[in-house]
Structure 1
Amino acid sequence: MATTHEIKVERREDEGKGASRRLRRSGKIPAIVYGGDLPPVSIQLDHEPVWLASQHEWFYSSILDLSLGGDIQKVLLRDIQRHPYKQLILHLDFQRVNEKETLRTAVPLLFVNEEKSPAGKAADVVITRELKEVTVECLPSDLPQAIEVDLSELKVGDIVYLSDLKLPKGVEIPQLKLGKDHDDAVVIAKHGREEAAPEEAAEGDDAAAKPDDGK
């Protein structure tokens, strides 16, 4: 079951760049809610609790409950605009969710047990994570906060593909329906680049230092 999180919002009456700047100076974030059978609605949120929420992965992939005076609307975060160098959120876009309709959204991958795996214990093995998230399709009630990737059995030479992921019930990866060419690698374990032996390196240096005898 998907975990939901309640965020309190207020309706925003004034719009435009000037109104948005005034909101930000007062510690508010301008935002919009759209989608479904209802028209778009301009709202505002307190910056501090939203900033704290934005430090967690669930803020980006979970169903959020926007509470407007007791009226709850289930939404997904679709866009976040940040200040280029200040710790400020400038604007948010939320999309309404129909609990009876399949949705498509990105979900983060949670890698576990890498340090326990044969590859993780080997000093000369490099483990690369090719993907950080994956796009899934499911009903809102089935949306996971993350998809766990268990690497406990990972060995050198192994490749974990999208098709290897264990998905929660009711969750699908639409990309896999396009064929084997779209079964992307998620994790790769391979030997690291071996450095040249000291003797070989010394010989190379000596050869470079020898003067050209003209032959």
Structure 2
Amino acid sequence: MAVTLAVKEREVRPRSTKEKLRKQGEVPAVLYGNNVPNTALTVSEKDLLKILRAHGKNTVITMTVGGKKVQSLVGEQQVDTFTKQWKHVDFVAVDMKEKIEVTAEVVLINDAKGAKSGGTLVQNVYELTVSATPDNLPEKIEVDVANLEIGDSITVADLSTELGYEIVDAPEEQVASVVVEQNEVEEESSATTEEAEPELVED
């Protein structure tokens, strides 16, 4: 899905000017890639965050620069650690017909059967790299763990490949599993040993 973001071209000026823009709710930005000249921009922080919250970081953003419409993705961002204010953002221009690689969040859905039987559900990876044309990039990859029993796992090879994108990570990469905690195993082993020890009888 593509959304539209209003941008303004700006001159590359001293840092003090950038600080003034930030105080006005604007984020200094730069657009580059796909044969588009590096262009300094400003965008409304409010509008940008609204798009990202509603559609995610992998959504295609259409902007008008130099009188032409450009499709782009959000690239690197600089965010203040304490205030959470956006200090700078890159926009990467894309060709809608060419595949690109991005990361997508892994989200586990449903309750694993094994977790209900005393096991512990473990999420092994939280992001996967996917390849697709920009309009098919997922924001997240949902992994259904409902049928996982204790000792079972889901790997990249088990995930659906019929969603318009390809997962680049190794097929054997483990995504989620249901395990028995080590202390539980040790307790069971200790209990078994105690039961097996013969009772000493004194003469």
TM normalised by structure 2 equals 0.81
Shift of 1:163: 1.0
Distance in 2, Cα, partners of 1:98 & 1:41 = 17
5+ residue gaps, structure 2 = 192-203
CA distance in 2, matches of 1:112, 1:70: 44
Aligned counterpart for 1:73 among listed residues 70, 75, 82: 70
Find the partner of 2:135 among 105, 119, 141: 141
Q: What SS does the aligned partner of 1:60 have?
A: coil
The alignment status of 1:61 with 2:58, answered yes or no, reads yes
Counterparts of 1:6-155 in structure 2, within 5 Å, are 6-55=4-53, 58-68=55-65, 71-113=68-110, 115=111, 117-122=112-117, 124-155=118-149
Q: 1:185 aligns with which of 169, 174, 195?
A: 174
In structure 2, what is the Cα distance between the partners aligned to 1:70 and 1:93? Answer: 20
Structure with more strand by fraction:
2
- Specify the code of the residue in structure 1 equivalent to 2:113: P
| Residue number in structure 1 paired with 2:194 | none
Report the 3-state secondary structure (helix = DSSP H, G, I; strand = E; otherwise coil) of the residue aligned with 1:41. strand
Counterpart in the other structure of 1:5: 3
Q: Quick one: distance in 1 between partners of 2:107 and 2:66?
A: 35
Letter in 2 for 1:191: V
How many angstroms does 1:160 deviate by? 0.8
Please give the alpha-carbon distance, in whole angstroms, between the structure 2 residues aligned to 1:11 and 1:158.
54
Change (3 A) 1:163 1:18: same
Q: Distance in 2 between matches of 1:84 and 1:151?
A: 34
Distance (Å, rounded) in 1 between the aligned partners of 2:135 and 2:50:
25
Q: CA deviation at 1:121?
A: 2.2
- Distance in 1, matches of 2:31 and 2:85, equals 20
Asked if the contact 2:56–2:139 (Cα under 8 Å) also holds between the matched residues in 1, the reply is no
Question: Identity over the aligned pairs, expressed in percent?
Answer: 23
Which structure 1 residue ranges, 5 or more long, are not aligned? 201-215
Partner of 2:198: none
Aligned partners of 2:31 and 2:41 also within 8 Å = yes
TM-score (norm 1): 0.77
Query: Which amino acid letter does the alignment assign opposite residue 51 of structure 1?
Result: L
SS in 2 for 1:175: coil
Kindly tell me the number of residue pairs found equivalent between the two proteins. 189
SS at match of 2:56: helix
Distance 2:115 2:65 in 1: 48
RMSD: 2.5
* Helix, strand or coil at the partner of 2:47: helix
1:174 aligned partner, one-letter code: V
